[in-house]
């Protein structure tokens, strides 16, 4: 059985459509929308192909049309792109995002998985670096062998006691340097973090055509090309 695990697509249809994997199941750890220029296209295809999807903070914001929770650093780009995303999704699509589960617990081939976007204690907004000691308390009482998280856009695999903690990184807005799209694969009981190039300049061109305020456009383009804000 082959699982492909992705997160934080953020409306980047070029990255999504370049995903170079076939799979038995596709799992999505939230944030289908916002930031990128094609949230509608991403929504329509990903919701058709994914077996499991949990709600990310950007899905939540678009579903509720709520800009109250953005951090100060990302507020300008989050607000501007949320308004754009809300304008191109219909009410049914926004309701779908609003009603996505905050977490899922599933079993495949005898392995128990826990899926959430942020952290188990704060599924929408929880954010911890890969090596944080706080992860121990976050996952030690979960009845899962594998805990899958997203949100930070930083890929990592970590063993904590008898559990595996994994973040596949971001497919559509990679951070930590570089413009490669990031994801993870689980096959034959083993995990692997993978990456691939996609036509970033095409995505940048689409963003610029939307005519966001200059400071918003500059930030969005910098993140896509450099892998950092």
The chain-wide mean pLDDT, for the chain, equals 96
> Does the structure show a pLDDT above 80 at 23?
yes
> Does the structure show a pLDDT above 90 at 228?
no
State the DSSP H helix or E strand holding residue 42, giving kind and residue range, or none if neither: helix 39-49
pLDDT given at position 185: 98
pLDDT given at position 229: 75
Reported as a pLDDT band with limits 50, 70 and 90, residue 112 is very high
Instruction: Look up the domain containing 92 and give its range.
Output: 2-226
DSSP three-state, residue 136:
helix
Residues 6+ apart with CB under 8 A from 106: 52, 112, 113, 115
Count Cα neighbours of 166 within 13 Å in the Cβ-side half-sphere.
Answer: 28
pLDDT given at position 176: 80
The residues facing 196 across adjacent strands are: 181
Reported as a pLDDT band with limits 50, 70 and 90, residue 175 is confident
Please state, in angstroms and rounded to a whole number, the distance separating the CA atoms of residues 24 and 34: 27
Please state, in angstroms and rounded to a whole number, the distance separating the CA atoms of residues 182 and 50: 17
Question: Can you give the pTM of this predicted structure?
Answer: 0.97
* CATH number of residue 151's parent domain: 3.60.21.10
In the chain, the number of structural domains is: 1
Q: Whats the size of the chain, residue-wise? A: 229
């Amino acid at each position: 059985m082959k699982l492909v695990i992705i997160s934080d697509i953020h409306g980047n249809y070029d990255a999504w459509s370049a995903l170079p994997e076939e799979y038995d199941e596709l799992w999505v750890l939230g944030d289908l929308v916002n930031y990128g220029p094609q949230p509608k296209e991403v929504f329509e295809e990903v919701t058709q192909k994914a077996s499991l999807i949990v709600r990310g903070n950007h899905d939540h914001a678009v579903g509720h049309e709520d800009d109250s929770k953005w951090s100060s650093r990302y507020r300008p780009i989050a607000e501007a792109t949320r308004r754009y995303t809300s304008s191109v999704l219909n009410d049914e699509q926004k309701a779908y995002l609003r009603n996505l589960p905050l977490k899922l617990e599933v079993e495949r081939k005898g392995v128990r998985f826990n899926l959430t976007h942020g952290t188990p204690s704060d599924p929408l907004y929880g954010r911890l670096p890969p090596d944080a000691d706080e992860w121990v308390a976050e996952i030690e009482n979960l009845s899962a062998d594998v805990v899958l998280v997203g949100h930070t856009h930083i890929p990592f695999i970590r063993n904590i006691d008898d559990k595996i903690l994994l973040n596949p990184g971001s497919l559509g807005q990679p951070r930590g340097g570089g413009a490669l799209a990031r994801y993870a694969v689980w096959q034959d009981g083993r995990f692997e973090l993978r990456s691939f190039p996609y036509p970033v300049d095409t995505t940048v061109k689409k963003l610029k055509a939307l005519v966001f305020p200059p400071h918003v456009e500059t930030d969005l383009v910098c993140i896509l090309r450099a892998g950092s804000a």
